[in-house]
Amino acid sequence: MARALVASWFQNELTIPVNCSHDYNLPNYVNANTLVIASSYSGETEETIAAVNEAKQKTASIIAVCSGGKLAEFCKQNNYECILIPGGNPPRAQLAFSLVQLTHILVSLGLIDKQRLSEFKSASELLIEYTNHIQEKSKELARFIYKKDLIIYTEAKDEAIAIRARQQFNENSKILCLHNVIPEMNHNELLGWMGAKPESAVLLMHTGQLYPQNKKRFDFSASVFETKTKHIFELEAKGTSIIDESLFLINIIDWASYYLALKNNVDPIDITILNKLKKSLLN
Protein backbone atom coordinates (compact mmCIF):
# COMPACT_ATOMS: atom_id res chain seq x y z
CA MET A 1 0.00 0.00 0.00
CA ALA A 2 2.80 2.41 0.89
CA ARG A 3 4.44 2.01 -2.51
CA ALA A 4 1.20 2.83 -4.34
CA LEU A 5 0.73 5.98 -2.26
CA VAL A 6 4.31 7.18 -2.79
CA ALA A 7 4.15 6.47 -6.53
CA SER A 8 0.92 8.47 -6.83
CA TRP A 9 2.21 11.37 -4.73
CA PHE A 10 5.18 12.03 -6.97
CA GLN A 11 3.91 10.94 -10.37
CA ASN A 12 4.03 14.52 -11.65
CA GLU A 13 7.56 15.07 -10.33
CA LEU A 14 9.32 11.84 -11.26
CA THR A 15 11.00 11.80 -14.67
CA ILE A 16 11.32 8.01 -14.83
CA PRO A 17 8.51 5.43 -14.86
CA VAL A 18 7.53 3.76 -11.58
CA ASN A 19 5.62 0.50 -11.63
CA CYS A 20 4.05 -1.10 -8.54
CA SER A 21 4.19 -4.88 -8.75
CA HIS A 22 2.01 -7.01 -6.47
CA ASP A 23 2.84 -10.45 -7.86
CA TYR A 24 5.45 -13.20 -7.71
CA ASN A 25 6.93 -12.24 -11.08
CA LEU A 26 8.50 -8.99 -12.25
CA PRO A 27 7.73 -7.33 -15.58
CA ASN A 28 9.89 -8.63 -18.42
CA TYR A 29 11.58 -5.25 -18.90
CA VAL A 30 13.37 -5.46 -15.54
CA ASN A 31 17.13 -5.66 -16.18
CA ALA A 32 20.50 -4.40 -14.93
CA ASN A 33 19.31 -0.81 -15.38
CA THR A 34 16.29 -1.27 -13.12
CA LEU A 35 16.00 -0.41 -9.43
CA VAL A 36 13.73 -2.79 -7.54
CA ILE A 37 12.50 -1.41 -4.20
CA ALA A 38 11.16 -4.31 -2.16
CA SER A 39 8.68 -3.16 0.47
CA SER A 40 7.36 -5.75 2.92
CA TYR A 41 6.66 -4.78 6.51
CA SER A 42 7.24 -8.27 7.93
CA GLY A 43 9.95 -9.13 5.44
CA GLU A 44 8.17 -12.45 5.00
CA THR A 45 5.73 -11.65 2.18
CA GLU A 46 5.94 -14.67 -0.10
CA GLU A 47 5.49 -12.86 -3.41
CA THR A 48 8.00 -10.17 -2.44
CA ILE A 49 10.66 -12.78 -1.66
CA ALA A 50 10.01 -14.44 -5.03
CA ALA A 51 10.26 -11.08 -6.81
CA VAL A 52 13.60 -10.10 -5.26
CA ASN A 53 15.08 -13.46 -6.15
CA GLU A 54 14.02 -12.85 -9.74
CA ALA A 55 15.44 -9.31 -9.54
CA LYS A 56 18.75 -10.79 -8.44
CA GLN A 57 18.76 -13.16 -11.42
CA LYS A 58 18.10 -10.21 -13.72
CA THR A 59 21.02 -8.32 -12.06
CA ALA A 60 18.76 -5.43 -11.07
CA SER A 61 19.70 -3.10 -8.23
CA ILE A 62 17.74 -3.83 -5.05
CA ILE A 63 16.82 -1.79 -1.98
CA ALA A 64 14.53 -3.24 0.69
CA VAL A 65 12.30 -1.65 3.34
CA CYS A 66 11.18 -4.11 6.01
CA SER A 67 11.27 -4.91 9.73
CA GLY A 68 13.41 -8.04 9.31
CA GLY A 69 12.53 -11.55 8.20
CA LYS A 70 13.63 -13.36 5.06
CA LEU A 71 13.89 -10.14 3.08
CA ALA A 72 16.41 -8.61 5.48
CA GLU A 73 18.40 -11.85 5.49
CA PHE A 74 18.34 -11.98 1.68
CA CYS A 75 19.78 -8.45 1.53
CA LYS A 76 22.45 -9.25 4.10
CA GLN A 77 23.57 -12.38 2.24
CA ASN A 78 23.71 -10.62 -1.12
CA ASN A 79 25.02 -7.19 0.00
CA TYR A 80 21.88 -5.28 -0.95
CA GLU A 81 20.82 -2.17 0.95
CA CYS A 82 18.07 -2.74 3.50
CA ILE A 83 16.28 -0.11 5.58
CA LEU A 84 14.96 -1.61 8.80
CA ILE A 85 11.80 -0.19 10.37
CA PRO A 86 10.26 -1.05 13.78
CA GLY A 87 8.49 -4.43 13.81
CA GLY A 88 6.05 -6.32 15.97
CA ASN A 89 2.80 -4.64 14.95
CA PRO A 90 0.10 -5.22 12.31
CA PRO A 91 1.50 -3.91 8.98
CA ARG A 92 -1.53 -1.68 8.42
CA ALA A 93 -0.75 0.14 11.67
CA GLN A 94 2.81 0.94 10.60
CA LEU A 95 2.12 2.63 7.26
CA ALA A 96 3.93 5.86 8.15
CA PHE A 97 7.30 4.14 8.61
CA SER A 98 7.19 2.71 5.10
CA LEU A 99 5.94 5.96 3.57
CA VAL A 100 8.79 7.99 5.04
CA GLN A 101 11.48 5.49 4.07
CA LEU A 102 10.21 5.01 0.51
CA THR A 103 10.15 8.78 0.08
CA HIS A 104 13.63 8.98 1.59
CA ILE A 105 14.92 6.56 -1.05
CA LEU A 106 13.55 8.72 -3.87
CA VAL A 107 15.08 11.83 -2.28
CA SER A 108 18.45 10.13 -1.76
CA LEU A 109 18.54 9.11 -5.42
CA GLY A 110 17.80 12.68 -6.50
CA LEU A 111 14.51 11.67 -8.09
CA ILE A 112 12.35 14.10 -6.09
CA ASP A 113 12.96 17.34 -4.20
CA LYS A 114 14.47 16.85 -0.73
CA GLN A 115 11.88 19.25 0.69
CA ARG A 116 9.33 16.48 0.26
CA LEU A 117 10.55 14.89 3.48
CA SER A 118 9.71 18.03 5.44
CA GLU A 119 6.09 17.64 4.38
CA PHE A 120 5.75 14.72 6.78
CA LYS A 121 6.40 17.11 9.66
CA SER A 122 3.71 19.51 8.45
CA ALA A 123 1.35 16.56 8.00
CA SER A 124 2.01 15.48 11.58
CA GLU A 125 1.26 18.99 12.83
CA LEU A 126 -1.95 19.06 10.77
CA LEU A 127 -3.16 15.77 12.25
CA ILE A 128 -2.48 17.00 15.77
CA GLU A 129 -4.31 20.26 15.07
CA TYR A 130 -7.36 18.42 13.74
CA THR A 131 -7.37 15.55 16.23
CA ASN A 132 -10.88 16.29 17.53
CA HIS A 133 -12.25 16.88 14.05
CA ILE A 134 -10.77 13.59 12.80
CA GLN A 135 -12.28 11.65 15.72
CA GLU A 136 -15.72 13.20 15.26
CA LYS A 137 -15.70 12.67 11.50
CA SER A 138 -14.49 9.07 11.79
CA LYS A 139 -17.25 8.17 14.26
CA GLU A 140 -19.80 9.84 12.00
CA LEU A 141 -18.48 7.85 9.04
CA ALA A 142 -18.62 4.57 10.98
CA ARG A 143 -22.27 5.22 11.84
CA PHE A 144 -22.94 6.04 8.20
CA ILE A 145 -21.42 2.78 6.89
CA TYR A 146 -22.92 0.47 9.52
CA LYS A 147 -25.06 -2.28 7.93
CA LYS A 148 -24.75 -0.82 4.42
CA ASP A 149 -23.00 -1.86 1.20
CA LEU A 150 -20.10 0.58 0.82
CA ILE A 151 -18.76 1.89 -2.48
CA ILE A 152 -15.83 4.34 -2.47
CA TYR A 153 -15.15 6.83 -5.26
CA THR A 154 -12.18 9.16 -5.78
CA GLU A 155 -10.53 11.01 -8.60
CA ALA A 156 -8.05 8.75 -10.45
CA LYS A 157 -5.03 10.52 -8.90
CA ASP A 158 -6.31 9.54 -5.45
CA GLU A 159 -6.97 5.86 -6.13
CA ALA A 160 -4.25 4.75 -3.69
CA ILE A 161 -6.24 6.42 -0.88
CA ALA A 162 -9.38 4.58 -1.98
CA ILE A 163 -7.47 1.28 -1.98
CA ARG A 164 -6.16 1.97 1.53
CA ALA A 165 -9.73 2.72 2.65
CA ARG A 166 -11.11 -0.46 1.12
CA GLN A 167 -8.36 -2.54 2.71
CA GLN A 168 -8.87 -0.99 6.13
CA PHE A 169 -12.60 -1.72 6.08
CA ASN A 170 -11.79 -5.26 4.92
CA GLU A 171 -9.14 -5.94 7.57
CA ASN A 172 -10.37 -3.97 10.56
CA SER A 173 -14.15 -3.86 10.13
CA LYS A 174 -14.44 -7.28 8.42
CA ILE A 175 -16.74 -6.04 5.65
CA LEU A 176 -16.63 -6.21 1.88
CA CYS A 177 -16.66 -2.95 -0.05
CA LEU A 178 -15.86 -1.70 -3.54
CA HIS A 179 -13.94 1.22 -4.98
CA ASN A 180 -13.62 2.89 -8.35
CA VAL A 181 -12.31 6.12 -9.81
CA ILE A 182 -13.60 9.00 -11.87
CA PRO A 183 -13.46 9.39 -14.85
CA GLU A 184 -13.10 5.64 -15.51
CA MET A 185 -16.29 4.61 -13.69
CA ASN A 186 -18.30 6.98 -15.89
CA HIS A 187 -17.64 4.71 -18.87
CA ASN A 188 -19.19 1.59 -17.33
CA GLU A 189 -20.01 1.44 -13.61
CA LEU A 190 -22.35 4.42 -13.80
CA LEU A 191 -24.70 2.20 -15.82
CA GLY A 192 -24.50 -0.41 -13.07
CA TRP A 193 -26.17 2.09 -10.78
CA MET A 194 -29.39 1.49 -12.70
CA GLY A 195 -29.62 -1.72 -10.67
CA ALA A 196 -28.39 -0.34 -7.33
CA LYS A 197 -30.19 -1.10 -4.07
CA PRO A 198 -31.31 1.45 -1.46
CA GLU A 199 -28.85 0.06 1.10
CA SER A 200 -25.92 1.07 -1.10
CA ALA A 201 -23.75 3.69 0.60
CA VAL A 202 -21.42 6.03 -1.33
CA LEU A 203 -18.25 7.54 0.10
CA LEU A 204 -16.80 10.35 -2.04
CA MET A 205 -13.26 11.50 -1.22
CA HIS A 206 -11.32 14.47 -2.60
CA THR A 207 -7.82 15.90 -2.32
CA GLY A 208 -6.91 19.29 -3.77
CA GLN A 209 -8.82 20.86 -6.61
CA LEU A 210 -10.75 18.50 -8.83
CA TYR A 211 -9.82 18.61 -12.50
CA PRO A 212 -12.59 20.82 -14.02
CA GLN A 213 -14.07 18.05 -16.16
CA ASN A 214 -13.89 15.63 -13.25
CA LYS A 215 -15.79 18.14 -11.09
CA LYS A 216 -18.62 17.96 -13.63
CA ARG A 217 -18.37 14.17 -13.65
CA PHE A 218 -18.54 13.97 -9.83
CA ASP A 219 -21.59 16.25 -9.76
CA PHE A 220 -23.39 14.29 -12.47
CA SER A 221 -22.51 10.96 -10.87
CA ALA A 222 -23.78 12.17 -7.49
CA SER A 223 -27.08 13.13 -9.11
CA VAL A 224 -27.37 9.53 -10.38
CA PHE A 225 -26.50 8.08 -6.95
CA GLU A 226 -29.18 10.23 -5.36
CA THR A 227 -31.88 8.58 -7.50
CA LYS A 228 -30.99 5.19 -6.00
CA THR A 229 -29.84 5.85 -2.43
CA LYS A 230 -30.06 8.51 0.25
CA HIS A 231 -26.76 7.35 1.76
CA ILE A 232 -24.00 9.61 0.42
CA PHE A 233 -21.04 10.80 2.49
CA GLU A 234 -18.36 13.22 1.30
CA LEU A 235 -14.86 13.61 2.73
CA GLU A 236 -12.76 16.59 1.66
CA ALA A 237 -9.10 16.69 2.65
CA LYS A 238 -7.41 19.46 4.60
CA GLY A 239 -3.79 20.52 4.13
CA THR A 240 -1.48 22.31 1.72
CA SER A 241 0.30 19.35 0.08
CA ILE A 242 -0.69 15.97 -1.31
CA ILE A 243 1.03 14.30 1.66
CA ASP A 244 -0.96 16.45 4.11
CA GLU A 245 -4.21 15.72 2.35
CA SER A 246 -3.62 12.00 1.87
CA LEU A 247 -2.66 11.39 5.50
CA PHE A 248 -5.58 13.50 6.70
CA LEU A 249 -8.06 11.30 4.81
CA ILE A 250 -6.24 8.11 5.76
CA ASN A 251 -6.43 9.01 9.46
CA ILE A 252 -10.19 9.51 9.25
CA ILE A 253 -10.59 6.24 7.36
CA ASP A 254 -8.36 4.28 9.75
CA TRP A 255 -10.25 5.44 12.80
CA ALA A 256 -13.61 4.93 11.08
CA SER A 257 -12.65 1.32 10.29
CA TYR A 258 -11.82 0.80 13.98
CA TYR A 259 -15.08 2.32 15.21
CA LEU A 260 -17.01 0.31 12.64
CA ALA A 261 -15.31 -2.86 13.92
CA LEU A 262 -16.63 -2.06 17.39
CA LYS A 263 -20.14 -1.55 16.00
CA ASN A 264 -19.85 -4.85 14.11
CA ASN A 265 -18.62 -6.57 17.28
CA VAL A 266 -15.49 -7.90 15.56
CA ASP A 267 -11.82 -7.83 16.53
CA PRO A 268 -9.98 -5.36 14.25
CA ILE A 269 -6.67 -7.15 14.92
CA ASP A 270 -7.89 -10.67 14.12
CA ILE A 271 -6.28 -12.15 10.98
CA THR A 272 -7.05 -15.83 11.59
CA ILE A 273 -8.19 -16.47 8.02
CA LEU A 274 -5.00 -14.90 6.61
CA ASN A 275 -2.85 -17.10 8.84
CA LYS A 276 -4.79 -20.15 7.62
CA LEU A 277 -4.09 -19.09 4.04
CA LYS A 278 -0.36 -18.78 4.71
CA LYS A 279 -0.32 -22.19 6.36
CA SER A 280 -2.18 -23.75 3.40
CA LEU A 281 0.43 -22.37 0.99
CA LEU A 282 3.12 -24.40 2.75
CA ASN A 283 1.41 -27.71 1.92
Question: Which CATH number belongs to the domain containing residue 204 in this structure?
Answer: 3.40.50.10490
What total number of domains does the chain contain?
A: 2
278 annotated active-site: yes
Do 124 and 108 belong to one domain?
no
Select which of 187, 197, 230, 279 is catalytic: 187
- Which residues have a Cβ under 8 Å from the Cβ of 240 and sit 6 or more positions away? 122
Do 12 and 96 belong to one domain?
yes
Contact 250, 205 (CB under 8 A): no
Distance CA 3, CA 275 (A): 23
Do 254 and 126 belong to one domain?
yes
Do 43 and 102 belong to one domain?
yes
One pLDDT digit (tens) per residue for the chain, 283 residues: 788 999 999 999 999 999 999 999 999 999 999 999 999 999 999 999 999 999 999 999 999 999 999 999 999 999 999 999 999 888 888 899 999 999 999 999 999 999 999 999 999 999 999 999 999 999 999 999 999 999 999 999 999 999 999 999 999 999 999 999 999 999 999 999 999 999 999 999 999 888 999 999 999 999 999 999 999 999 999 999 999 999 999 999 999 999 999 999 999 999 999 989 988 988 7
Do 244 and 157 belong to one domain?
yes
- Cα–Cα distances in angstroms (integers) from residue 182 to residues 33, 163, 237, in the given order: 35, 14, 17
Select which of 119, 171, 179, 206 is catalytic: 171
162 in any annotated domain: yes
Do 167 and 229 belong to one domain?
yes
Last residue of one domain, picked from the residues 84, 112, 140: 112
Select which of 22, 216, 276, 278 is catalytic: 278
Do 223 and 140 belong to one domain?
yes
Residue-number span of the structural domain to which 164 is assigned: 120-263
Do 128 and 255 belong to one domain?
yes
Distance from chain centroid for Cα 136? 22
Do 78 and 23 belong to one domain?
yes
171 annotated active-site: yes
187 annotated active-site: yes
90 prior amide bond cis, ω within 30: no
